[in-house]
């Protein structure tokens, strides 16, 4: 066998390893559905609680079901005291994704039933993680800023409470809607690198926390969740809309990549970027953060002319950063916000995988090394 006779699925592209009814992506048409519902409809009419219910249960909730589900999330929001104490002691210089990874690992250690994998146990732990992620991220943010860590507020929705715990202010309806939209758009996306990593870890029957820690680690990279942070760094590097042309020429010369553009699956405009573009435009018009938005529009126009014909378009991360900054988050918190959203998708996939397949993931590689090499004792090498 050689690389020419074996078909190597580099990057696992187009490899189908299981079935799922959670998410359908039509990458050529730029369409995305969660459990059959168009992402645009969910972003416009739904809330993060409703979308999390949809992902965990495969159907939209009735009023009574949503009320009970939301109450169950509220009941799970608070963190153990010892974790809050430890978060305060984390180095302020650590990246918040590293802090999040550590905090979720600690949550696992603090759960006396960490290893429980019964369907009910898994579901309950999933709810608990969805509820606690915003509390953990807000605590990390406030601790880094030298501010007191705030307890969750019962009367607020998931999105509003996350904003409140992060900023200390009860958000307006408009801010809450913006956070809801951002969380809904990033809640699920099939077998991306972090979800696949979660399933790979879970397929060994590692516990849920360990699988989620693995997913957080995969999300951190700039080719995945870290891209939204990289977009804001790119904007700072460009500096002004007038500089886009020369910056782009330099980027092309060094064969660099435009952050927030391109996608393994979408070869058309990412529909999530379309929704965020609309909200980012409104935010930019209202609050005057128009410089970043103006640069993005110019990058989209000029880079689009070069890259769109190759199927490279803005992805969800292109506009998410300007929305998050407007909501009061520094750029190192963009990926943690992504994680606050994606915890619903990660847990929903794990719950689904236990029912559909539950098989150990174990791919193979084409061996290119030597065989039967004579062993030479160390004294003779």
Q: Among residue numbers 309 through 338, which ones bind ligand ACO (CB under 6 A)?
A: 312, 315-317
Q: Does 267 bind ligand ACO (CB under 6 A)?
A: no
Closest separation between CB of residue 301 and ligand ACO, Å? 15
Which one, 152 or 345, has the nearer CB to ligand ACO?
Answer: 345
Which letter, b or e, does each residue of 256-293 get, where b requires 16 or more Cβ atoms within 10 Å of its Cβ?
A: ebbbbbbbebbbebbbbbbbbbebbbebbeeeebeebb
In angstroms, the CA 368 to CA 2 distance is 8
CA-CA-CA-CA dihedral for 92, 141, 53, 276, to nearest 10: -110
Among 84-92, 121-129, 254-262, 291-299, which window interacts with ligand ACO (CB under 6 A)?
254-262
Helices (H), the chain: 39-45, 48-57, 63-75, 81-89, 96-110, 119-144, 158-167, 173-185, 193-202, 208-219, 227-238, 244-253, 271-287, 290-307, 317-326, 334-356
Assess whether 317 carries a catalytic annotation: yes
Which one, 74 or 280, has the nearer CB to ligand ACO?
Answer: 280
Residue of 180, 207, 270, 317 marked active site: 317
Q: List phi, psi (to 5°) of 17.
A: -115, -10
Q: Among residue numbers 277 through 316, which ones bind ligand ACO (CB under 6 A)?
A: 307, 312, 315-316
Q: Among residue numbers 217 through 246, which ones bind ligand ACO (CB under 6 A)?
A: 223-224, 227
Assess whether 207 carries a catalytic annotation: no
Which one, 257 or 278, has the nearer CB to ligand ACO?
Answer: 257
Q: Which of 61, 260, 274, 336 binds ligand ACO (CB under 6 A)?
A: 260
**Nearest partner of 335 among 196, 193, 207, 208, judged by Cα:** 193
Closest separation between CB of residue 215 and ligand ACO, Å? 13
- # chain residues binding ligand ACO, by CB under 6 A: 17
Q: Which of 31, 57, 177, 257 binds ligand ACO (CB under 6 A)?
A: 257
The residues assigned a catalytic role are 263, 317
Binding site for ligand ACO (CB under 6 A): 11, 223-224, 227, 257-264, 307, 312, 315-317
């Amino acid at each position: 066998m050689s690389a020419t006779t074996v078909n190597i699925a580099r990057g696992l592209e187009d490899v189908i390893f299981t079935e799922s009814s959670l998410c359908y992506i039509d990458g050529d048409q730029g369409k995305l559905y969660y459990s059959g519902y168009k992402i645009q409809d969910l972003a416009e009419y739904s809330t993060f609680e409703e979308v999390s219910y949809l992902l965990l249960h495969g159907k939209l909730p009735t009023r009574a079901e949503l009320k009970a589900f939301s109450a169950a999330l509220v009941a799970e929001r608070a963190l153990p005291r010892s974790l809050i104490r430890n978060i305060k002691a984390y180095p302020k210089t650590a990246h918040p994704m590293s802090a999040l990874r550590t905090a979720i690992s600690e949550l696992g250690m603090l759960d006396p039933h960490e290893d429980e994998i019964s369907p009910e146990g898994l579901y309950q732990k999933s709810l608990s993680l969805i509820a606690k992620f915003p509390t953990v991220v807000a605590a990390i943010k406030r601790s880094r800023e030298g501010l007191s860590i705030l307890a969750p507020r019962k009367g607020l929705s998931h999105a509003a409470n996350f904003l409140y715990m992060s900023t200390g202010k009860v958000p307006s309806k408009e801010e809450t809607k913006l956070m809801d939209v951002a969380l809904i758009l990033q809640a699920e996306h099939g077998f991306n690198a972090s979800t696949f990593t979660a399933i790979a870890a879970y397929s060994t029957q590692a516990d849920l926390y360990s699988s989620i820690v693995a997913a957080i680690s995969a999300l951190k990279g700039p080719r995945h969740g870290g891209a939204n942070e990289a977009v804001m760094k790119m904007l700072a590097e460009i500096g002004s809309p007038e500089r886009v042309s020369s910056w782009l020429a330099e980027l092309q010369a060094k064969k660099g990549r435009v952050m927030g553009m391109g996608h393994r699956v979408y070869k058309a405009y990412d529909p999530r970027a379309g929704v965020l573009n609309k909200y980012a435009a409104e935010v930019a018009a209202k609050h005057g953060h128009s410089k970043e938005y103006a640069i993005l529009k110019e990058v989209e126009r000029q880079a689009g002319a070069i890259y769109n014909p190759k199927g490279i378009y803005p992805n969800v991360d292109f506009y998410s950063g300007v929305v998050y900054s407007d909501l009061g988050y520094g750029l190192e918190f963009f990926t943690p916000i992504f994680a606050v959203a994606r915890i619903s998708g990660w847990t929903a996939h794990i719950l689904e995988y236990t029912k559909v397949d539950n098989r150990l993931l174990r791919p193979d590689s084409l061996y290119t090394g030597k065989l039967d090499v004579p062993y030479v004792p160390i004294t003779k090498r």
